[in-house]
Amino acid sequence: MNPVQLLSTAELRLRAASVMVRFVTNTTKESKQDLLERLKKLEFDISEDEIFTSLTAARNLVEQKQVRPMLLIDDRALPDFTGVQTGDPNAVVIGLAPEHFHYQLLNQAFRLLLDGAPLIAIHKARYYKRKDGLALGPGPFVTALEYATDTKAIVVGKPEKTFFLEALRDTGCAPEEAVMIGDDCRDDVGGAQNTGMLGILVKTGKYRAADEEKINPPPYLTCESFPHAVDHILQNLL
């Protein structure tokens, strides 16, 4: 089996064991639709209501606060904000959008914030993995704006507790009955464990050697990949 088949098979094994599955992501460069189509093409058996993204969390907050956001997000994420007013902005929403993180636009955002606009950060990831190596995530730029304006962003994505609780809401499961599998030690595993879930760190994606030593308490389990994580769950946690 090729690597992708291994992954989708592992997912099916979970479902076969009647484990409820949710796909949670901080991705800010794909709308839910795009994500769904991409995962389906990779032969993951998944429906739209099993996906919970930080973009959804951000939109919910914008509507709740009734603000008009300056959207510093990837163009491909814009469909998730259809219907939201963005003219004459009085809030800033910031996701992973390197093309927007140039001085002029960040300065515009800075001036809005200094005037009292709230800063909503989809997440504060320090960096992500690109073909040419590690690249700055939105976290550093959110930090820059927080420092410049002496304010704190409202973070809606991982590792915030609210994100995980929102994601679990319609599963009817308590955090203690749930496991998070992720490649980001602090954001995926640390955040989930902080909510009361078990966290399994996989050594794929952005994982770097000794990442598991960076959180306290350490991950419930560190293992090679998603299929290995599923093995463990099926063998030990049901």
Partner 1 sequence: MAAWAERLAGVRGVLLDISGVLYDSGAGGGAAIAGSVEAVARLKRSPLKVRFCTNESQKSRRELVGLLQRLGFNISEGEVTAPAPATCQILKERGLRPHLLVHDGVRSEFDDIDVSNPNCVVIADAGESFSYKNMNRAFQVLMELENPVLISLGKGRYYKETSGLMLDVGAYMKALEYACGIEAEVVGKPSPEFFKSALQAIGVEAHQAVMIGDDIVGDVGGAQKCGMRALQVRTGKFRPSDEHHPEVKADGYVDNLAEAVDLLLQHMDK
Task: Specify the stretch interacting with partner 1 by CB under 8 A; choose among 33-41, 84-92, 98-106, 169-177.
Answer: 98-106
For tokens 């919910």, the residue is 60
Identify which of residues 3 and 140 has a Cβ nearer to partner 1 in the complex. 140
Contact with partner 1 (CB under 8 A) among 78, 144, 154, 234: 144
Chain position carrying tokens 């598991």: 212
Which is nearest to 78 in space by CA: 103, 97, 106, 52?
97
Task: Give the C-alpha separation, 42 to 163, whole Å.
Answer: 26
* Inter-residue contact 228 to 202 (CB < 8 Å): yes
Specify the stretch interacting with partner 1 by CB under 8 A; choose among 6-14, 20-28, 64-72, 97-105.
97-105
Q: Which is nearer to partner 1, 65 or 208 (CB)?
A: 208
DSSP state at residue 108 = H
Q: Does 101 bind partner 1 (CB under 8 A)?
A: yes
Which is closer to partner 1, CB of 59 or CB of 100? 100
Sole window of 17-25, 62-70, 146-154, 230-238 interacting with partner 1 (rule: CB under 8 A): 146-154
147 lines the binding site for partner 1 (CB under 8 A): yes
Asked if residues 162 and 154 have their Cβ atoms less than 8 Å apart, the reply is no
Euclidean distance between CA atoms 51 and 73, whole angstroms: 19
User: Closest separation between CB of residue 101 and partner 1, Å?
Assistant: 4
